[in-house]
Chains A and B, each alone.
Chain A
Amino acid sequence: MKTISRIYSAVLFLFLYAPIFVLIVFSFNNSTTMSRSVWSGFSFKWYAQLMQDGMLLNALRNTLVIAVIAAVVSTVLGTAAAIGINGMNKWMKRMVMNVTNLPMVNPEIVTGVSLMLLFVFFAKGMGNVSLGMFSLILAHITFCLPYVILSVMPKLRQMDSHLYEAAQDLGCSPVLAFFKVVLPEIMPGIVTGMIMAFTLSIDDFVISYFTSGTTQTLPIFIYSMTRKRISPEINALSTLLFGTIMVLLIIVNLRQSKDKKAEENLIEEA
């Protein structure tokens, strides 16, 4: 039984990671035809070209700027909203949660088209300005918001509501009590929400496609290459992104386990 379960998980991981592995391998392919299936030697050629390709780097910059702003803003708004929702009575809470969850189950294309119609309506009113960076950021904040609320809510529910009152009893002002007691308590939820918003924003294609106007993000740029062929520069870029995210995840995990150990030590000493 154990061998079967091992084989099963091995196959599962193979299935999950084989595409990424192939992508990484072919980012080092030394071919002139931009081939994605014939191996012709090892080289860093595509990495070098990637660094020279101004259009691609520009699209990458747009994507990152939008992702960072959308993640930060939606985290702040989402956390505030979650705290407010948590303080409502049961009936209101249920209703508001349903309303915030709706955009998540709504097909992306519907969200995209409706946001576009709204933005175009306002753009026409403001003297035919073009959609672009600003409308993209607004759209991304919009679709990231529910995910942040959803990841902060459970932490708020877990938290003992008397903690906040106790802090005030011990002389904290409401604001200070929030920052010293409530915020650290729900921090893991906030961080998860922010990371989720960031990744969602980076790889969003459908909503960006409709709201981008004359600005181009990385997914749209890659998609527009399909008439000719998707250049292995994209493999190289994806490899770099994958590597960066791996390192980030490892650092986060290491820190978490360190914190846990420190906590355990504290408990033992006490």
Chain B
Amino acid sequence: MKKTIAALAAAVLLATTVSPSAFASSEEPEQPAAPKTGVTINVYNWGEYISNGVDDTLDINKEFTRRTGIDVNYTTFDTNESLYSKLANGGANYDIIIPSDYMISKLIDEKMIEKLDFSNIPNFQYIDEQFRNPKYDPKNEYSVPYTWGVVGIFYNKKYVKEPVDSWKILWDKKYAGKILMFDNPRDSFGIAQKILGYSYNSMNVEEWENAAKLLKEQKPLVQAYVMDQIFDKMSSGDAWLAPYYAGDAATLVEDNPDIGFAIPTKEGTNFFVDAVCIPTGAQHKKEAEAYINFLCDPEIAAANVDYIGYSTPESAAKELLPEETVNNPIFYPSKEILNKSETFVNLPEDTNLLLDTLWAEVKMGGPGQTATLVAVLLGFLLLYIGIVVYKKMKAKRELQ
């Protein structure tokens, strides 16, 4: 009896371990599953930002567990800032985090991420030269690039007939009420800064104020400041022009032939990188480095970006991708465009504060409008108190 149970258990184990996703099994049919190590690494990544096994894609985390025997507890965040607050508050021991460029430089400044041991990450060799030693991590000690992309403009070809090659089109009165803008300060200010010919990482107060002035001029033309609603508003024809991240272009452009995507070549654009890091005090640093190494494996990287839609920093992975993706200037823009583009770097505290107040002014309409709003609210309050007092007095009179 005991023997049959053992045999059954073994059979079940075999069945579950030998059936990973189709992609992996076709590559390495005989590789057996590694024995469980009992270690679980905590991974914190953007939402919808890893190939997850849906629709015959490769389930990256499952494949990692199968190859190394290390379990993955995978969780997701929505902005760099919420990642930062999670780490800063404590109580969450992550082993792997994937922030964007400017957040990485902030985390380095505040000693919240650890130097990597690159001898455990031999696959770093596949990372292309142009992605090494980036501005946010000048000596390339803390991070390994995961994906990258640029910001461009989505437009509806039915209504926007002229060539889209400059950010200035977002200020064109012809398209009033049909323009969308980013609902985050750095991306929105970035567009104004490029029109004015400033750097994204300027520390000059006057430059930031000029950019804010430009955004205020644009405000009457803007339909809404949004993030992911861009997809719905663009595909339904509600809006005609919207700046967004190129990596998300694929689905939108493929599904609706009217929608085009262009990178403003006149002024240049924002070039962003999301990279893998290990937070200070991670409990499973070695296993985390094994995970980073696994992500850099060209096959894995190719399967991953194929699902995500962003671009890979590895030429070896590019070779495994469909040709139409690699030749698509949306995903892999020319060298000239890249040379003109700029990355975000962490801003000093006072510049960040300035940016926040200016952004609030742009969206809310400045201190003048806030004052009227307060006045109106006070008016209502007074009216309410007046009514209450009047009613009380009336009740008293009736009693008498």
Interface residues of A (CB under 8 A from B): 31-38, 49, 52-55, 116, 119-120, 123-124, 128-131, 135, 210, 212-216, 220-221, 223-231
Interface set, chain B 246-285, CB cutoff 8 A to A:
248, 251-252, 254-256, 281
CB distance from B256 to the nearest CB of A (A): 7
State A226–B78 Cα separation when bound (angstroms): 6
Most buried by A among B78, B90, B254: B90
Q: Are A54 and B53 in contact (CB under 8 A)?
A: yes
Q: Say whether B74 faces chain A, with CB atoms less than 8 Å apart.
A: yes
New A-B contacts (12) at CB < 8 Å, excluding given A131-B92, A220-B75 = A35-B231, A36-B232, A37-B233, A37-B235, A49-B55, A53-B52, A213-B93, A214-B44, A214-B93, A221-B47, A223-B78, A226-B78
Find the A residue at minimum CB distance from B94.
A214
Q: Say whether B202 faces chain A, with CB atoms less than 8 Å apart.
A: no
State A120–B53 Cα separation when bound (angstroms): 35
State A34–B232 Cα separation when bound (angstroms): 9
State A116–B90 Cα separation when bound (angstroms): 9
**Which of A32, A34, A224, A230 sits near B46, CB closer than 8 Å?**
A224
Interface set, chain B 55-92, CB cutoff 8 A to A:
55, 59, 61-62, 73-79, 89-92
Q: Are A230 and B53 in contact (CB under 8 A)?
A: no
Residues of B within 8 A of A221 (CB): 47, 76
**Which of A35, A216, A227 sits near B235, CB closer than 8 Å?**
A35
Size category of the binding interface on chain B: 35 or more
Residues of B within 8 A of A32 (CB): 251, 254-255
Chosen A-B contacts, 22 in total, with CB atoms closer than 8 Å, are A33-B231, A33-B254, A33-B255, A35-B235, A35-B236, A35-B255, A36-B232, A52-B53, A52-B55, A54-B53, A54-B59, A54-B62, A131-B91, A213-B93, A214-B42, A223-B78, A224-B76, A225-B47, A226-B47, A227-B228, A228-B228, A231-B48
State A173–B160 Cα separation when bound (angstroms): 84
Find the B residue at minimum CB distance from A31.
B255
**Which of B78, B90, B252 sits near A224, CB closer than 8 Å?**
B78
Q: Are B75 and A215 in contact (CB under 8 A)?
A: yes
Q: Say whether B54 faces chain A, with CB atoms less than 8 Å apart.
A: yes
Residues of B within 8 A of A231 (CB): 48
Q: Are A120 and B47 in contact (CB under 8 A)?
A: no
Q: Are B90 and A227 in contact (CB under 8 A)?
A: no
CB distance from B114 to the nearest CB of A (A): 15
CB distance from A157 to the nearest CB of B (A): 32
Q: Are B281 and A49 in contact (CB under 8 A)?
A: no
State A35–B229 Cα separation when bound (angstroms): 9
Q: Are A227 and B254 in contact (CB under 8 A)?
A: no
State A37–B238 Cα separation when bound (angstroms): 10
Q: Are A214 and B54 in contact (CB under 8 A)?
A: no
State A49–B52 Cα separation when bound (angstroms): 11
Residues of B within 8 A of A37 (CB): 232-233, 235-236
State A119–B91 Cα separation when bound (angstroms): 8
Find the A residue at minimum CB distance from B259.
A33
State A229–B228 Cα separation when bound (angstroms): 5
**Which of B47, B233, B236 sits near A227, CB closer than 8 Å?**
B47
Find the B residue at minimum CB distance from A214.
B42
Q: Say whether B227 faces chain A, with CB atoms less than 8 Å apart.
A: yes
CB distance from B20 to the nearest CB of A (A): 12
Q: Are A52 and B54 in contact (CB under 8 A)?
A: yes
Most buried by A among B75, B227, B252, B254: B75
Find the B residue at minimum CB distance from A223.
B78
State A34–B93 Cα separation when bound (angstroms): 33
**Which of A119, A124, A220, A228 sits near B248, CB closer than 8 Å?**
A228
Residues of A within 8 A of B92 (CB): 130-131, 212-214
Find the A residue at minimum CB distance from B80.
A227
Find the B residue at minimum CB distance from A32.
B255
State A53–B281 Cα separation when bound (angstroms): 31
Interface set, chain B 196-219, CB cutoff 8 A to A:
none
CB distance from B237 to the nearest CB of A (A): 9
Q: Are B235 and A124 in contact (CB under 8 A)?
A: no
State A119–B90 Cα separation when bound (angstroms): 10
Find the B residue at minimum CB distance from A50.
B54
Find the B residue at minimum CB distance from A40.
B255
State A119–B248 Cα separation when bound (angstroms): 38
Q: Are B90 and A124 in contact (CB under 8 A)?
A: yes
Residues of A within 8 A of B256 (CB): 33
Q: Are B62 and A120 in contact (CB under 8 A)?
A: no
**Which of A52, A120, A229 sits near B91, CB closer than 8 Å?**
A120
Residues of B within 8 A of A33 (CB): 231, 235, 251-252, 254-256
CB distance from A38 to the nearest CB of B (A): 5
Residues of B within 8 A of A230 (CB): 228
Residues of A within 8 A of B252 (CB): 33
Residues of B within 8 A of A214 (CB): 42, 44, 73, 75, 92-94
Interface set, chain B 9-56, CB cutoff 8 A to A:
42, 44, 46-49, 52-55
CB distance from B156 to the nearest CB of A (A): 13
Most buried by B among A52, A53, A119, A214: A214
**Nearest 4 interchain pairs by C-beta:** A224-B47, A224-B76, A130-B93, A120-B91
Find the A residue at minimum CB distance from B76.
A224
Residues of A within 8 A of B236 (CB): 35, 37-38
CB distance from A207 to the nearest CB of B (A): 14
State A224–B75 Cα separation when bound (angstroms): 9
State A52–B53 Cα separation when bound (angstroms): 7
Residues of A within 8 A of B55 (CB): 49, 52
Q: Are A116 and B89 in contact (CB under 8 A)?
A: yes
Residues of B within 8 A of A226 (CB): 47, 78, 227-228
State A225–B78 Cα separation when bound (angstroms): 6
State A115–B233 Cα separation when bound (angstroms): 39
Residues of A within 8 A of B235 (CB): 33, 35, 37-38
Find the A residue at minimum CB distance from B256.
A33
Residues of B within 8 A of A54 (CB): 52-53, 59, 61-62
CB distance from B328 to the nearest CB of A (A): 17
